[in-house]
A and B are shown apart, each in its own frame.
Chain A
C-alpha cells in the first residue's frame, strides 16, 4: 500500500541519514558524499513534518562535506550554496549569511560583499521575526565590509598625505564608504546583543570624523543599557575611549569601578589598582586595596606576579606608615580561613620558588605580613632565598621580622 511505501521510504531515508552522520563523525568525507547523493532523492517525496526537513539536511551536510573534501573548490562550494538558497524560502537569508561567512574566512571579501548586497535586496512576502534579525545581520556585515573599505582608503590617504599630496577622488570614495557603513552599523547596535566588532568599528568611524558625543553616547548605551547583556567588553571600550579622549582621572576611575563591580577578576584591575594607589584620597587607596585583594581571590590570578607585586607594594606601604592597618585587617578577615590554603601552602611555596622567584618573593612578603614569620610559605621561601644568597630575600626576612607585631594586630 502507499502508506507502507511511505513508511519504507521514511525508514530508508533515516538509515541513509545515519550513514551520512557516521561518515561525517569519522571524517570520511568521500563516503559521506556518496551517501548524500543518494539522500538527495528524498527531496522528491518530502512528506516530513520535522522542523528540519531534508533540504536543510542536504544544505548542512553538503556544506560540511565541501569544507573538508579534498577535491572540493571554492567555486563548487559557491555553486552548491546558490542551489541551496533556492531550496527553501525561509532559509534563504541564513544560507546567504553562511555562504558569506565562508567566503570571508577564505579571504574572498569582494565576493562576500556582492553576496551580501544581493541578499539585502531579496524580498519575499512578509518576514518573520527571525528573518528580520537575519536581514539586520546581513546589513551589519555589509556595513562592516564597508568599514574595512573605508579603512583601506583612509590608510591610502594617510600615506599620500605623508607624501605631501592629496587625492580628492580617494577622499570622496572614503566618505562614501563611511556613509554606507555608518548607516548599517548604527542599526544593528540598537538591538540588544553582543556586538563588539560592530560597535568598535562604528566608534572608530565616529571618532575619525570628530563626532565624539555620538561615540560616547553609543558606548554608554552599549555599556549601561540594561536590556543588553552585562558585557564587560562594553565597559572596556568605554574606558579605552575615555582614555583616548584624555578624560579626567575621575571619570576613568568611575568607569573602571563599574567594571570592577561586574568582573572583579578583569585584567584591567591592575591598571585600576595602580591608578588608585597613586591617588591622594584615602578612600581611593582603600578601594585600591580592595580591588587587588578581590582580584587575587580568583584562580586565574594565582600566579600573576604583577598583581602580587601590586598587593605587596601597597601592604608594605601601609605597614611602614603604620596607618590604616585596619584596612588590611578588614580585607583579611573574610579571607583568613581560606587564603592560607589557597595561596600560602608549603606545596605552592616549593612550586613558586622553582618556577618564578620574583612571584615567590612578592607572595612571601604578603604572607609574612598577613600570617606572621611562622607562616610556612614565608619560612620556606625566605630560607631558600637566604640559602641562594639573594640579597632581597635577606632584606625581606629582616623586614618581616621587624614588623611581626603587625601580624598580631591584623589577626587579633
Chain B
C-alpha cells in the first residue's frame, strides 16, 4: 500500500471536474501472492482487476408502484426564477453569474396575495382611486379621487419595454412610487424585498445543489430469512411527499407489491429514510426538515410498523442515521452544527455543537454523522472532512478520519458530499464521496484513503448503497446522483491478504470497471409514442430528480441477481434487475441504445429470449402509464379552452343582429332548394344577377364624380359659375348618364372584390369590406339615397355570395361593422 503522494496540508492539485479522470490508471500495484516467499513475484493492480460481471436483465428500469391519485407538483426549474432576456444573456456571457428575476417574483406576490401586500391601505384608499376610462364626473369627488388609468397604462407600457437597455421610468410612475413607497405596503417594502431575495437565493442554491436529500428517502428492509422473498420497501409519497409508506414487496422476476401498504401521514416533506437491521428488527429513521421520527418493524413481514418516537428541531436537521449496533439508537445532525446521539430509551445526548466547520472555513451548514465500528464512537462530518467522536467523552476523545487535503490527494475545491459507514462489508471501513472522487477509508489508518477513484459523475453522488459480498467476493457499492439520476455500480475487495499472511492489512482494490445502470428517464425512449403534451408530461415526470436508492442481492442457487430500486422526487419507484454472469465470455454485442427509435424497443416487442419477464415488464409499463394518465387528469373544472367570450368584448346590444335570416339568405335558400329539387347544378351565382348589385358601397372616388374636386377643378379653370349653373339646373339626362356610368364601374369593382375575397381569409375580407363601407356613406350625397335604400330588399343572387366565408349575410357584416363604428367602438376591438 503506497499512495504516490502522502503529504500534508491543503490540497495542491488544481482543476475542476475532469470528465474521464477515472479511466486507464492502475494507480498502483499490490502484492498478489500469499506472502512473498515465492520465486516469481505476483502483482495485482489497485484498479483495473477483473470483477464480477453483472448484466442488466431488461432494457430499462420498470415501475414498481403505480402512481397514486393526485398529480405531482414539480419543483421550480431554473427558468422560473432566473431573469430571461437578451440583455441577460449578454451579461451571462460576461460571467456575472445567474441573475435572479427578483421583480417578477415580487410582482407575483403582489398579484397573488393582494390582501397580504396592501390589505389595510387598499381598503382605506379604494374609494380614492378611480380606474375607469371616462373622466371623473362628480365635481365633489374630484378633490378626493384620482384617476389611475394613465398610471396603469404606464405600467403596461413598462412591461412591454422590459429588457430594453434604455428604458426610463415614466415620470408619473416615479412620482407615484416616491409618494407611496413608504406607506402603501402592508409589510415594509425593504423588509419584504429582503425576505424574498433571501428565499430566491435559497431556491437558486437548491437548484444548483440540494443537499437536503443527502442519504436518500428510500429504504429496503430485506426478508428475515432467505426462504421467503418478501421484503419491505419504505418510501415517501403523496403530493407533498409527506406520507410514509411501508410496502411489502415480493421478489420475483419483477418485484411485485403485496397487499396495501402501511401508511403514516407526517407533518413535513420526507427528506431522508434510513434503516438498519439490529437484533432481528428493523429500525427506520425518517427525517423531514424540522422533525425526525423512528419506527420499528418486526422481522416478520406483514407486521404493522410501530412508531417509537419523534423529535422536533429548531433548525432543519441535515442527517439521520440508524445505528447498526444497538437497537433504537440514531444519530441526528442539525444545520446549526449540532450532533446528537438519540436513543429511544434515554433521549438525546449532545455530542458536539460547533457552527464552524472542522478543518477549514466553509459556508455550508450541512453536517452529517454516522456510526463506526465502535458503538460508542460516532463519526461526524461537514464539507471539509470527518472526525470520530467518543460519545462517552466527546470533548476529549476524537480523531480525524478524513480531511479534504493533501493527505488524501484531494483537489482544490473538493468537498465532502456523503460519508457512509461500510460496516456490513468491513467493520472498520468507511466510504466518503466528494463531487469528484470516492474514497474508502479505514479508521485504523485514518486520513490516508485505502482506495481512491475519480467517479466522473456529472452531479455529486448524494446516495450510496452497499451490498456486502461474501468472503473472497467483491463488495458492491451503488452511487446515485439526484439531478441527473445517474447510477453507478462499483465493486471493491478489501484486505485480500491479511497481516498473518504477510501482506498489507488495509489494502483495498477496485474490482472490475464501474458500470452505469439505467436511470428512470432512460425508459422514455422505450415507451410507445405519445401525444406531444402527454409526452411532455411524461418526460417531466420521468426526469424528476432522483430522491433515493436501495438495492438487494438475491441468491437463488447458482443464479445471483441484484435488484436496484430508485426513487424519484415525483414519488415513483423504479426497479431494475441485474443478473450475475458467472462465466466471463467476451462482451456480447449489445444493443445500441442510442439508435433505438422510441416505441420500437424490445421492451414492447414480443421478445424471444425470456418472454415472460419482458412481457411482464411491458405489462407493468402499460399499467403504470394508464394509472399515471388517470392520476394526472385535470379535474374538469380546471380545463381551460382557448376560446374567448365575445360577451366580454361587446355588449349584447352590439351583437344584436336583425332577427331571423335576411331576405338575401332567404332567397338563396329558396334557390338552393329549387335547384336540388330539379336535380340541377348551380355553377355560379352570377347569371342570376340580373338586377344591379345591391351593395351600398357604390361610389369610388373617381376624379370627375367627386363634387368637391370637380368644383375645385372648375374653380381652378375659372368657370366656376358655369359649374354652379350646371349643378343647379341638373339636367335629367346628365343624371341618367352619370348613373349608368357609376353602375358599370360598380360591376367591375364587384367582380374584382369577390374574386379576391374567395382567396383571402374571411377576416381580411371583412376588414376590406368595412374599409370600403367606411368610405361609402360619406361619398353619398344627401340627395341620393336610393342605393342605400336597396339594402332592405336586395335582388336575388348577389355575386358576393361566391365566397362561402361570407355566406352569413354580407349585409349583416356590413351593418354590424357600420353600426359598431357608429357606436364609437374602434375598429381594432372588433
Contacts and interface: CB of A to CB of B under 8 A. Distances in A.
Contact of A70 (B25, B40, B506, B586): B586
Contacts of B375: 297, 299, 338, 342
Interface in A322-356: 334, 338, 341-342, 345, 347-348
Contact of A134 (B4, B48, B506, B594): B4
Interface in B2-52: 2-8, 14-16, 18-21, 23-32, 36, 39-45, 48-49
Interface string B324-339: 1111000000000000
A173 interface: no
Interface string A97-123: 010011011010100000000000000
A61 B513 CA distance: 12
Given A60-B25, A193-B3, A194-B445, A107 B279 contact: no
B187 interface: no
Contact of B504 (A68, A104, A197, A347): A197
A103 to B, nearest CB: 9
B43 A232 contact: no
A152 interface: yes
Contact of B445 (A17, A22, A197, A230): A230
Interface string A265-307: 1111000000000000000000000000000011110000000
A62 interface: yes
B1 interface: yes
Contacts of A92: none
Given A61-B24, A233-B506, A67 B325 contact: no
A171 to B, nearest CB: 17
Interface string B431-447: 00000000000001111
B513 A60 contact: no
Contact of A196 (B1, B5, B7, B324): B1
Contacts of A98: 24-26
A109 B40 contact: yes
A263 interface: yes
B19 A57 contact: yes
Interface in A211-263: 227, 229-233, 236, 262-263
B505 A299 contact: no
B326 A26 contact: no
Given A22-B516, A101-B28, A299-B423, A60 B590 contact: no
A130 B27 CA distance: 15
B139 interface: no
B376 interface: yes
B513 A231 contact: no
B436 to A, nearest CB: 12
Q: How large is the interface on B (under 10, 10 to 19, 20 to 34, 35 or more residues)?
A: 35 or more
A17 B25 contact: no
Given A265-B444, A338-B326, A27 B43 contact: no
A194 B6 contact: yes
Interface in A17-49: 17-18, 20-22, 24-31
B20 A194 contact: no
Contacts of B690: none
A168 B43 CA distance: 31
B514 interface: yes
A197 B23 contact: no
Contacts of B423: 299
Given A24-B23, A105-B26, A233-B506, A51 B18 contact: yes
10 contacts: A28-B587, A28-B590, A51-B14, A70-B586, A104-B29, A105-B43, A194-B2, A233-B506, A297-B376, A341-B279
Interface of A: 17-18, 20-22, 24-31, 50-52, 57, 59-64, 67-68, 70, 98, 101-102, 104-105, 107, 109, 130, 133-134, 137, 145, 148, 151-152, 155, 191-198, 200-201, 227, 229-233, 236, 262-263, 265-268, 297-300, 334, 338, 341-342, 345, 347-348
Interface of B: 1-8, 14-16, 18-21, 23-32, 36, 39-45, 48-49, 279-280, 324-327, 373-376, 392, 407, 423, 426-428, 444-448, 456, 488, 498-500, 502, 504-506, 513-516, 586-587, 589-590, 592-594
